[in-house]
Structure 1
Amino acid sequence: MKREPSFYNPAASNGIGLIEVVFWALPVAAYFVFPDNLSFGAQILIMSLYAMSLGLILGFAGIVTLGHAAFFGIGAYSTALISLAGYHEPITATLAGGLLAAVLACAVGPIVLRLSGLSLMMMTLAIGAVLFEAANKFSWLTGGENGLSGIEFDPILGMFRWSVFGQTSYVYCLAWLFVMFLLFRSLVGSPFGLALQGVRENALRMRLVGAPVSRHLIKVYAVSAFMAGVAGGLSAQVTGFVGLDVLAIDLSINGIIMLVLGGVGSIYGGPVGAAVYMILKDFAANWDPYNWMAVIGLFLIFVVLFGKNGLIGLGQRALPKSLFVSLPRLEKVESRRQTT
């Protein structure tokens, strides 16, 4: 069976394609080319991580959710409250935000993931709405509509101080995105990742062959929540403020839009879609502050109509395959079996 290059295929590979090197070289180059826009660049990297976390469960496990912002918000509020409580070490605070989001996923996962289709979407939407209203009502803890401000953290590793120009924030967020991407890639290329794809395609058949479907879904749900929580923690640290918008349904919907733009089921779909969405939104808002959503909508229609799998699908057809990585490991195993 013919497989796509691993830039699009979730399976792990034996090498790195030129296009992947270019992809990671672009944000490094942006640090030097756009020194006055690094704060905005840090926001793009945060949204890339958030969209990537959504792509893990939606693209590879088939979990359709409208409440993914709940984990982003838990990470953001947790990291902010840790700072306001007097603990200012940034890396462990970010990890704490991600872990608390994962704990929430483990708590609601056994209930939510019993559902599918529209019922699953409505349940995740309801959980997100409950958390949003709770954050609004418990203003003594979350600041309510006023949010939490005065969030400060020590220099990263005791050496790199935060600045209003965003140099430290940008590199810090890029490092987190790269580490989380390595986790993402190794996960979806492992036997566990292949099992998730089997669950996505036919959960009943996977149960019949003895696969622990519910356990797999809860695990990947928790990992995705951890990644989203890390993104929320980074947002709190970079902006120094956390408001109700981190739990709003708009954030969940924007994550889906980013993923559709980039390509659902691709390891780079989330980062590519988030970067394009954020840049296009900024351009359109500056061009027409009142009708910028029309620009986003028209571009999304174009991508959906002409891209088999978002921008990744367009690139797949437009660029030569020699730019991409060698064939996935699974195809090589299959070919060896045929020769023997």
Structure 2
Amino acid sequence: MSAFDSPEQRAASGTGYFASLSRWNIFEILFWLALAGLYFWPHADLVLMSQIFIWGLFAMSLDVLLGYRGIPSLGHAAFFGIGAYVAGYCGKFGWTEPISALVLAMLVAAGVGWLTGKLVQRVAGVALLMVTLGLNLILYDLVHRSTEITGGDDGLQGIVIDPVLGLFRFDIFGRTAFWYALIVTFVLFVATRAIIKSPFGLALTGARENSRRMIMLGAPVEGDVSRAFALAAALAGAAGALLTQTTQFVAPSSLSFQRSADVLVILIIGGAGRLYGGFIGALIFLFLRDWLAAISPVYWYFWIGLLLVLVVSFFRKGILPTIEDFYTRWRGRRGAP
């Protein structure tokens, strides 16, 4: 495209560029087909699989902040817990239809995320970590101490969730939970993928790489912080609502620092800045957690810590980016004369 191209040619070129970014490759299609196919795997633990989808969605929400905008957070569980409690209160007080309650949980979490983004717009580095951690701890303490409202450590009691679309009732085997969590996660993934591949998503990445240059180009860097927080919070709230609806239970642990740390570990293992990294990390983390907890119920977290050390040592960008780099180099060598 040259400076002498017409405005129509420039627009068509830009549209073609973003269209090329949005194309799905065969690996993406196979990934989602493989996840759906796990339902038919003999003796598959469908409850565990639904948890993996939920945690993958939660990790993807953090990836929007950390991987694409470069904003670290030690308090991301706050948005997860907000979505979980909104869905829980809906089920407890008569709003038992799951999909509309899920949307409400996302909207409430997004609103809190937008306000959080406004609060931390001019904060960076260690100060940003402390602010996000502090907000999470404040919210956790409020929920933990308000036993009359939240049930405290006993959790919120009396949550009722109607069958999805009035047809598919949640059962102890996790059949409905599997498909409900997978479909909601896929729909939100498609929406997030489209946003990340849009000019807004590229602006987030540009601000991560060089915020001063983006300011010089006229990009609303500070405003993008609020929007990125709102998007990430909405996705985290959806993950929390899914957990409440599929288990019909919510407790203060959904807001704990431990949950924020776990989702950060999941994202580091899978790889930030890839969207799929959170799902790869969730698969590895949750399968290992269940397997190691069965072997050593007391010391299983030691092995998770060891895995994290190994990943950081040998897969510095995470497992998925390292595999992508290796595949790119391999294809380059094959294509070389």
TM-score, normalising length from structure 1?
0.88
CA 1:14 to 1:236, structure 2 compared with 1: closer, same or farther past 3 Å?
closer
Alignment correspondent of 1:242:
250
How far is 1:36 from its partner?
Answer: 4.8
1:291 matched to 2:299? The reply is yes
How far is 1:208 from its partner?
Answer: 2.0
1:312 matched to 2:320? The reply is yes
Match of 1:277 among 285, 288, 312: 285
The amino acid across from 2:243 in the alignment is S
Match of 2:214 among 206, 221, 224: 206
1:18 matched to 2:26? The reply is yes
Runs of 4+ deviating beyond 3 Å: 317-323
Whole-angstrom distance in 1 between the partners of 2:321 and 2:204: 22
Alignment correspondent of 2:191:
183
1:110 matched to 2:144? The reply is no
How far is 1:18 from its partner?
Answer: 2.5
CA 1:91 to 1:113, structure 2 compared with 1: closer, same or farther past 3 Å?
same
How far is 1:149 from its partner?
Answer: 2.4
- Contact preservation (8 Å) 2:22, 2:197: no
How far is 1:85 from its partner?
Answer: 0.8
Alignment correspondent of 1:327:
none
How far is 1:294 from its partner?
Answer: 2.0
Match of 1:49 among 48, 57, 81: 57
The amino acid across from 1:33 in the alignment is W
Whole-angstrom distance in 2 between the partners of 1:34 and 1:96: 36
Match of 1:89 among 89, 97, 100: 97
SS in 1 for 2:21: coil
How far is 1:232 from its partner?
Answer: 0.3
Task: Write out per-residue CA displacement over residues 79-100 of structure 1, whole angstroms, 9 at most, x where no aligned residue.
Answer: 1001111111000001111111
How far is 1:71 from its partner?
Answer: 0.2
Task: Write out per-residue CA displacement over residues 146-168 of structure 1, whole angstroms, 9 at most, x where no aligned residue.
Answer: 11122121111111111111100
- Contact preservation (8 Å) 2:116, 2:229: no
SS in 2 for 1:160: coil
1:126-205 to structure 2, matched below 5 A, reads 126-205=134-213
SS in 2 for 1:261: helix
- Contact preservation (8 Å) 1:11, 1:188: no
The amino acid across from 1:252 in the alignment is S
Alignment correspondent of 1:256:
264
1:119 matched to 2:162? The reply is no
TM-score, normalising length from structure 2?
0.89
Whole-angstrom distance in 2 between the partners of 1:11 and 1:258: 30
1:100 matched to 2:116? The reply is no
How far is 1:125 from its partner?
Answer: 0.3
Whole-angstrom distance in 2 between the partners of 1:132 and 1:206: 36
- Contact preservation (8 Å) 1:12, 1:186: no
Whole-angstrom distance in 2 between the partners of 1:37 and 1:255: 21
The amino acid across from 1:238 in the alignment is T
- Contact preservation (8 Å) 2:274, 2:321: no
- Contact preservation (8 Å) 2:38, 2:44: no
Whole-angstrom distance in 2 between the partners of 1:281 and 1:92: 32
Whole-angstrom distance in 1 between the partners of 2:111 and 2:193: 22
How far is 1:17 from its partner?
Answer: 2.4
Point out where structure 2 has 5 or more consecutive residues left out of the alignment: 1-17, 332-337
The amino acid across from 1:280 in the alignment is L
Alignment correspondent of 1:76:
84
Task: Write out per-residue CA displacement over residues 36-58 of structure 1, whole angstroms, 9 at most, x where no aligned residue.
Answer: 51111111111010001000110
Whole-angstrom distance in 2 between the partners of 1:151 and 1:189: 38
The amino acid across from 2:137 in the alignment is A
CA 1:61 to 1:14, structure 2 compared with 1: closer, same or farther past 3 Å?
closer
SS in 2 for 1:309: coil
CA 1:14 to 1:115, structure 2 compared with 1: closer, same or farther past 3 Å?
closer
Whole-angstrom distance in 2 between the partners of 1:43 and 1:12: 33
SS in 1 for 2:156: coil
- Contact preservation (8 Å) 1:261, 1:311: yes
Alignment correspondent of 2:68:
60
Whole-angstrom distance in 2 between the partners of 1:170 and 1:98: 20
The amino acid across from 1:17 in the alignment is N
